[in-house]
A and B are shown apart, each in its own frame.
Chain A
Amino acid sequence: MHGVTVPWRDVLVAVLAACVGIGAIPVLAGLYQYLLIPVHAFRNHLSRAAPYLPRVVVIVPAWNEGAVLGASLDRLMRLEYPPDRLRVLVVDDASTDDTPDVVRAKAAQYHDRVVHLRREQGGQGKAHTLNHGIAVALADDWMQALLIMDADVIYHPDSLRRMTRHLADEQVGAVTAFIREGSRRPGSVARFVGYEYVTAQAAARRAQNIMGAMACLAGGAQLHSRANLEAVGGRVDTSTLAEDTYTTFLTQLAGRKVVFEPAAVVLAEEPDTVTALWKQRVRWARGNVQITRTFRRVWFRPRRGHGLGRFDFGVIWFAIYLLPVAMVLAAVGLVGLYFVAEVTATLAFQSLWWIAVSAYVFITVTTMLLDRETARRSWLQGLLFPGVGALVVMVAAWFPNLLEVRLPALFGWEMTPAGREVWTLTLYAWSVLAMLLAWGVKQLERTRVLKPLALPLLYLVGFGPVLCAITLDAYVKQWRGAAAVWDKTEKTGRVMG
């Protein structure tokens, strides 16, 4: 037998090139999602919506929400909705602040339309608090639909009736609204979140309407029909950190649709420091790990009754779920190629970032135009969402030699070969470096002396890599079996009234 010579170098180059290719998948998945949005102009659930004003019970879980609750209840009472068809149950989870006094005052002001439910043994988390209220609501035949909201959110006057009209279609089990970041004087982090919410809700959920598969009912705005609530067991899940996603999946697996209504707008206050954001998003990401495992038999298995098993929905879900892995693989692929096949590395680098620039332009323009109110507030954060560093990488990929040769030449400078090597490797490894620096932003924010550097570093790193780093941290915490506690995100009542 003749020995077969294995072209190990070619195999290695192919593997490394594949790693770079994997790095492009999340970008392509995001682009695909955005390309679905225009279809929503002609294919949306409004054609099946009809005038419908059911008797709605609103559940407001509250733990030390005295600062925000009064305004929220006042706005609920001013909703353009028949007052005799709207009741509010505030489930006070053994608050230690003035929450009980605020609710009692509002109950007196609005008579039997606001009810105070007190849990003397609290602290078990939001899901348990919600279940307390849901059980009370279901015990009374009066309720036809149930709205779950957060204590700090402010509903636009027309938002509830714009949600209920979809429940006229009995195939619809739940409806969610567009949560817009609505702080009165938002800082940089809150402005980034505002822009992110347009991408993750106004954009992504329109695409999910088209696919017939909704990833998540927003925790602060989920309207359920009574039939749906009973079908999913009359309670929300308490075993995971993502009770809203769990209910969303159960609803669809039970054969009912979940609809996103972009014209129903709800304002919410979001974290304005990276530290607070980190805490909130680690909880969300760990919840998503639990959901991915719990519903492992759903992925990539198309079924007639729901769209959760669709191939495209699965690719989008896992593109987000495994985004940190894709970023690491892209960097490993490019750096590896640099040492074994440099010309291929350059071609791969330019191709990867060619796709990234196309996606950046399309996604940024679409996002800005989808919600101009947020665009006015967060245009800078929208433009710098990938980070100044990533924009530099895009320019380097788009205009070869501009930053390495032509720009320095204007000042009579020239990069040394070693400097050029470091520069090239930095460009290739940026997706990983950005995640490391994102962790640095959180650390800087906690220091007293270096704290002012956190914000410039955030803009250098970008918000996307921060979210990526948080997701990676959540995986590590989940893998290590860190205690899964429900940490409340502190709200201060900054939402615009």
Chain B
Amino acid sequence: MSSGSWATLTDEALADEIEANGRTERRLLVGVAVVAAVCTVAVLVLHGPVTSDDVDQAPGAHSVAVR
């Protein structure tokens, strides 16, 4: 918009902008949530839950045996 473009800011145009911003917000946040959730779930599924089986292989496990 150029200088003086404020003159086009009618109530109708401003209301349209509010609606457009609402739509953008919906699309953006739904998309973000889906991608973030998929990435996180994929990482968690690949690893699986923390169980006591992991402890045998964990950093401290060796020193338990050594002591």
Residues of A within 8 A of B (CB): 34, 37-38, 40-42, 44, 46-47, 49-53, 78-83, 157-158, 161-162, 165, 206, 262-263, 338, 342-343, 345-347, 349-351, 354, 357-358, 361-362, 365-366, 369-370, 396, 398, 400-401, 404-405, 417, 420-421, 423-424, 427
Contacts and interface: CB of A to CB of B under 8 A. Distances in A.
Contacts, number: 146
Contacts of B40: 358, 361-362, 365
A83 B55 CA distance: 68
6 contacts: A50-B15, A80-B6, A350-B50, A358-B44, A369-B31, A396-B59
Given A41-B29, A369-B31, A349 B58 contact: yes
A67 to B, nearest CB: 25
Interface of B: 1, 3, 5-7, 9-11, 14-15, 17-18, 21-22, 24-26, 28-33, 35-37, 39-40, 43-44, 47, 49-50, 52, 54-55, 57-64, 66
Contacts of B47: 354, 357, 398
Given A51-B14, A358-B44, A347 B9 contact: no
Given A51-B14, A80-B1, A345-B60, A362 B6 contact: no
Contacts of A398: 47
Contacts of B26: 41-42
A397 B45 CA distance: 16
A399 B37 CA distance: 22
A206 B35 CA distance: 18
A296 B23 CA distance: 39
A417 B6 contact: no
Contacts of B44: 358
A3 B4 CA distance: 88
Given A51-B15, A347-B52, A398-B47, A44 B25 contact: yes
A40 B29 contact: yes
A365 B39 contact: yes
A362 B39 contact: yes
Contact of A343 (B29, B39, B57, B64): B64
A223 to B, nearest CB: 16
Contacts of A34: 36
Contact of B37 (A40, A338, A349, A362): A362
